[in-house]
Chain A
Amino acid sequence: MKAKNQRLVLALIALVALVGAALLAMSALKDRASYFYSPSDALRDHVALGQAVRLGGVVEKGSLRRETDGVTIDFRVTDGIATVAARYTGIVPDLFREGSGVVAEGRFTAPGQFVADTILAKHDENYKPPELAGNGMHQSASLKK
């Protein structure tokens, strides 16, 4: 093979690989990107039960309740218009409290009933989150089922 042809072939292979990567990425995104819903969105759009989604909003004041096992909590996520009941087993992040922002990853088990695998608490609005190293989220992974 001439050098020029080899370069062409390599360029073509590279192109095919990158297009392949893009296709793979797009198809995986279709299946696995979890959609981000506010409680109103979730109730209006009828999220498929059992599908991995993220639910974002504020922990409703007065809604936080602890189960007797000491590690499971029930609370309501609200966006001011609609609310969704959520349940989580684990240690909540440091910034999680009533009235604070929350992003819960998990799934709906019934319309308006959410079970969280992971809870991410939003940083206090008055204070900047760590920006350098990343990983600034306060996270708590759930029990592996």
Chain B
Amino acid sequence: MIAETGLIALWIAAAFAALQACLGLAVLKAGGEDLMRAVRPVAIAQAVMTATAFGALLLVFYRTDLSVKLVVDDSATTLPTLYRITGAWGNHEGSMLMWVTILALAGAAVALFERRLPERTLAATIAAQGVIALGFFAFLLFSSNPFARVYDVPAEGNGFNPLLQDPGLAFHPPTLYVGYVGLSVAFSFAVGALLTRDVGPAFARAMRPWVLGAWMFLTLGITAGSYWAYYELGWGGWWFWDPTENASLMPWLAATALLHSVTVLATRDGLRAWTVMLAVVAFSMSMVGTFLVRSGVLTSVHAFALDPRRGAFILVLLALYIGGALALFGARIATVSEGNRFEPVSREGALVVNNLLLSVILAIVLIGTLYPLFTEAMGTKVSVGPPYFNATAGPIALILVAVMAAGPVMRWRRDQIVAVGKRIAIPAVLVIVALAVALWWAPGLHILPLLGLALAAGTAAASVAPLWKRNLRRTPLFTWGMVVAHFGVAVSLAGMASESAFTQETLVAARPGEMVRVGPYAVRFAAIEPVAGENYTAVQATLVATRGTATPITLRPAQRTFDNPPQQTSESAIATRPDGQLYTVVGEPVPGGRWQLRLWWKPFVTLIWLGGTLIAIGGALSLIGRSLPRRRKAEEQSGFARFR
């Protein structure tokens, strides 16, 4: 019954979404208080029905109802409770349902709380939300029904992918989805503003919290995903430029550009067309990402259970939404009047450069991700990996960081090069000093890590420059947000550069009792023994690592064996110290009573994710700062408070 309830709720929700779209368009066409009053409850009803459907899915998964096909495919009664629940979104249908649930909840929130937009724009926005939701409901109902039954109820399910049986991964997809959906709201705002030709600062201020929120969640999601890949896959890397990683990076790049251009629009009424365009592009990128990951078109080692119908469905949705939005953009943009002018050397100028560089990186990542598809269509198989992305996106990202350091100390509208130069003199000197120190201390450094380390030092200093000589207690929260986020970029960059420059690795086959050295550590291979887990058995090594006179650390890397589905995973063991991480993996047994051991010493690698977290915290501070009652109106209007 529960599954049927879910399915019925889904149909009703789809009907409400259709009604929402029609009502919104009717308000746009004819206006009318009564109609507008009807729009809000409809949006809320749609959210309630969608949430009901998702709740039903969670319930059938929690109960491991093996008469539901999805549960049979992706769960088992032997799973720990946490993964019996998270299994609900650890698959295609369930994750799509979660997507549309978050979308509906966001739409209801817009309908309930949005007071800044003019009524007609709000109506158009809500209509656009309804249309987007409708596409996804159609997708679920016609090609990916999560509630489909099986008639031969099996005794046991096929289990849940052991790699996904990790708390980090259980909560990582929802985080990313909140980000994607936030971008869909920004997209709806842009469509609404285009429909009513109302692209201006008020629209930008209404859209900004959504962009900030989406961006914050995307940042968190990418950071968490990177750390998960790092510790769970046992390969010691933190970014692989895999298509699925790129699928979340591309919307993030677009959202970052949008976040900065929406600030120009909100505070200086500039970059109108560009901001609307970016809102369309950002959501398109989350759709493209969904398409790439879900359709199985990519020749990836992921090699999905291929389902061309789903791919075609998403492709059609993609064409409708993006094509429709672009057509609307083309038809209406000429009537959007021009914004304010600015000199090339100004805060706006720096933000334009920021936007261009982000767009360039986005283009490079997009081309690199799609290229294998095109060549395969031509009959050649190609794989594009780290060598391409590092060589192209790496240098541009470094230039971007340099611009990021200079931007916040520039004045709006017009500034003098000499004056800006004076303001960034200290960070610039720091870069040169750091460069010299790095060259002296580690002469063999590669160019990218070298520049990364030097720039990180300069950027860290430059990012706090906007606080210089200010009353820190009266500095608005959104200025703090910017400072923290920019500082986070410096921290992250330092971690990436340090990891790629100074990592040390030891790979051996050792007998219990032997000593192995890696970096500053002497590691004793103390023992290896079998252990049993809740739904797996494992072989666990005990390693005792000593470094100078410090207390020895005990690490227990393991190889787990699951039998439903039959699969092995390696569980790395990581010791975190202030100056880096000791990362250990145990491999297979080797004749002669030996076991493969792989040890890494990664100096300051944790800074990568610490920086990512700081960036997200910066976003949160800005979001809170923007939503608080406006006490300092003058500063609110000038965006970040002016540089003094």
Q: Residues of A with Cβ closer than 8 Å to B?
A: 1-4, 6-7, 10, 13-14, 17-18, 20-22, 24-26, 28-29, 32-37, 52, 54, 56, 66, 69-71, 89-92, 94-95, 103, 105, 120-124, 126-141, 143-144
Q: Contacting B341 at CB < 8 Å: which of A1, A13, A103, A144?
A: A1
Q: Could you tell me the distance in whole angstroms from the C-beta of A75 to the nearest C-beta in chain B?
A: 14
Asked if B233 lies at the interface with its beta carbon under 8 angstroms from chain A, I say: yes
Question: A24 vs B362: C-alpha distance in the bound complex, in angstroms?
Answer: 13
Q: Could you tell me the distance in whole angstroms from the C-beta of B565 to the nearest C-beta in chain A?
A: 5
Q: Could you tell me the distance in whole angstroms from the C-beta of A124 to the nearest C-beta in chain B?
A: 7
Residues on the A chain within 8 Å of B173, using CB: 132-133
Q: Could you tell me the distance in whole angstroms from the C-beta of B86 to the nearest C-beta in chain A?
A: 10
Q: Contacting A20 at CB < 8 Å: which of B92, B228, B360, B505?
A: B360
Surface stretch bound by A, among B158-166, B468-476, B605-613? B158-166
Q: List 10 A-B contacts (CB under 8 A).
A: A6-B342, A13-B352, A17-B357, A22-B363, A32-B384, A89-B507, A91-B507, A95-B568, A122-B301, A129-B304
Question: A138 vs B162: C-alpha distance in the bound complex, in angstroms?
Answer: 12
B360 touches A103 (CB 8 A): no
Asked if B245 lies at the interface with its beta carbon under 8 angstroms from chain A, I say: yes
Residues on the A chain within 8 Å of B590, using CB: 66, 70-71
B392 touches A94 (CB 8 A): no
Question: A123 vs B587: C-alpha distance in the bound complex, in angstroms?
Answer: 18
8 closest A-B pairs by beta carbon, nearest first, are: A70-B509, A134-B244, A91-B587, A36-B381, A70-B590, A135-B229, A21-B360, A94-B568
Residues on the B chain within 8 Å of A54, using CB: 383
B385 touches A34 (CB 8 A): yes
Across the interface, name the chain A residue whose C-beta is closest to B340. Answer: A3
Residues on the B chain within 8 Å of A14, using CB: 274, 356, 359
Complex interface bits, B322-346 against A, C-beta within 8 A gives 1, otherwise 0: 0000000000000000111110000
Asked if B594 lies at the interface with its beta carbon under 8 angstroms from chain A, I say: yes
Question: A123 vs B586: C-alpha distance in the bound complex, in angstroms?
Answer: 20
Q: Contacting B360 at CB < 8 Å: which of A6, A17, A141?
A: A17
Question: A32 vs B158: C-alpha distance in the bound complex, in angstroms?
Answer: 40
Q: Could you tell me the distance in whole angstroms from the C-beta of A135 to the nearest C-beta in chain B?
A: 4
Given A25-B392, A130-B163, A132-B90, A103-B301 contact (CB < 8 Å): yes
Question: A32 vs B387: C-alpha distance in the bound complex, in angstroms?
Answer: 6
Given A21-B360, A70-B594, A124-B565 contact (CB < 8 Å): yes
B302 touches A131 (CB 8 A): yes
B303 touches A122 (CB 8 A): yes
A132 touches B247 (CB 8 A): no
Q: Could you tell me the distance in whole angstroms from the C-beta of B61 to the nearest C-beta in chain A?
A: 15
Asked if B236 lies at the interface with its beta carbon under 8 angstroms from chain A, I say: yes
Question: A69 vs B592: C-alpha distance in the bound complex, in angstroms?
Answer: 11
Q: Could you tell me the distance in whole angstroms from the C-beta of A112 to the nearest C-beta in chain B?
A: 19
Given A20-B360, A70-B594, A134-B90 contact (CB < 8 Å): no
Residues on the A chain within 8 Å of B338, using CB: 3-4, 7
Surface stretch bound by A, among B189-197, B364-372, B614-622? B364-372
Question: A21 vs B245: C-alpha distance in the bound complex, in angstroms?
Answer: 20
Q: Contacting B235 at CB < 8 Å: which of A2, A136, A140?
A: A140
A128 touches B299 (CB 8 A): no
Residues on the B chain within 8 Å of A24, using CB: 364, 392
A17 touches B359 (CB 8 A): yes
Question: A69 vs B594: C-alpha distance in the bound complex, in angstroms?
Answer: 10
Given A25-B368, A129-B304, A138-B233 contact (CB < 8 Å): yes
Across the interface, name the chain A residue whose C-beta is closest to B591. Answer: A66
Across the interface, name the chain B residue whose C-beta is closest to A141. Answer: B235
Residues on the B chain within 8 Å of A139, using CB: 233, 235, 237, 240
Q: Contacting A132 at CB < 8 Å: which of B164, B368, B503?
A: B164
Across the interface, name the chain A residue whose C-beta is closest to B246. Answer: A134
A70 touches B596 (CB 8 A): yes
Given A33-B383, A105-B385, A124-B588 contact (CB < 8 Å): no
Residues on the B chain within 8 Å of A103, using CB: 301
Residues on the A chain within 8 Å of B304, using CB: 128-129, 131
Given A133-B173, A135-B240, A18-B363 contact (CB < 8 Å): yes
Q: Contacting B273 at CB < 8 Å: which of A7, A135, A144?
A: A7
Q: Contacting A137 at CB < 8 Å: which of B302, B352, B387, B585?
A: B302
B380 touches A130 (CB 8 A): no
Residues on the A chain within 8 Å of B228, using CB: 133, 135
Q: Contacting A91 at CB < 8 Å: which of B244, B274, B585?
A: B585
Given A3-B338, A25-B392, A71-B161 contact (CB < 8 Å): no
B243 touches A35 (CB 8 A): no
Q: A21-B359, A133-B228 are in contact. List 11 more A-B contacts (CB 8 A).
A: A3-B340, A3-B341, A14-B356, A17-B360, A34-B387, A35-B380, A92-B587, A126-B565, A128-B73, A137-B233, A143-B505
Across the interface, name the chain B residue whose C-beta is closest to A120. Answer: B301
B352 touches A10 (CB 8 A): yes
A71 touches B360 (CB 8 A): no
Given A120-B301, A123-B303, A144-B505, A132-B242 contact (CB < 8 Å): no
Residues on the A chain within 8 Å of B356, using CB: 13-14, 17
Complex interface bits, B69-109 against A, C-beta within 8 A gives 1, otherwise 0: 00001000000000000000111100100000000000000
Q: Could you tell me the distance in whole angstroms from the C-beta of B239 to the nearest C-beta in chain A?
A: 9
Question: A20 vs B364: C-alpha distance in the bound complex, in angstroms?
Answer: 10
Question: A133 vs B594: C-alpha distance in the bound complex, in angstroms?
Answer: 34
In chain B, positions 396-425 with a C-beta closer than 8 Å to chain A are: none
Residues on the B chain within 8 Å of A94, using CB: 559, 567-570
Asked if B459 lies at the interface with its beta carbon under 8 angstroms from chain A, I say: no
Residues on the B chain within 8 Å of A56, using CB: 381
Given A18-B359, A28-B391, A136-B368 contact (CB < 8 Å): no
Asked if B112 lies at the interface with its beta carbon under 8 angstroms from chain A, I say: no
Asked if B434 lies at the interface with its beta carbon under 8 angstroms from chain A, I say: no
B505 touches A134 (CB 8 A): no
B383 touches A143 (CB 8 A): no
Asked if B133 lies at the interface with its beta carbon under 8 angstroms from chain A, I say: no
Residues on the A chain within 8 Å of B158, using CB: 127
Which one of A2, A24, A36, A131 has the greatest number of beta carbons of chain B within 10 Å? A131
Residues on the A chain within 8 Å of B493, using CB: none
A134 touches B248 (CB 8 A): yes
Q: Contacting A129 at CB < 8 Å: which of B89, B236, B273, B303?
A: B303
Asked if B172 lies at the interface with its beta carbon under 8 angstroms from chain A, I say: yes
A132 touches B359 (CB 8 A): no
Asked if B294 lies at the interface with its beta carbon under 8 angstroms from chain A, I say: yes
Across the interface, name the chain A residue whose C-beta is closest to B163. Answer: A130
Complex interface bits, B216-253 against A, C-beta within 8 A gives 1, otherwise 0: 00000000010011000111110010111101100000
Across the interface, name the chain A residue whose C-beta is closest to B380. Answer: A35
Residues on the B chain within 8 Å of A26, using CB: 367
Asked if B293 lies at the interface with its beta carbon under 8 angstroms from chain A, I say: yes
B363 touches A21 (CB 8 A): yes
Given A122-B303, A133-B225, A28-B598 contact (CB < 8 Å): no
Complex interface bits, B294-315 against A, C-beta within 8 A gives 1, otherwise 0: 1000011111110000000000
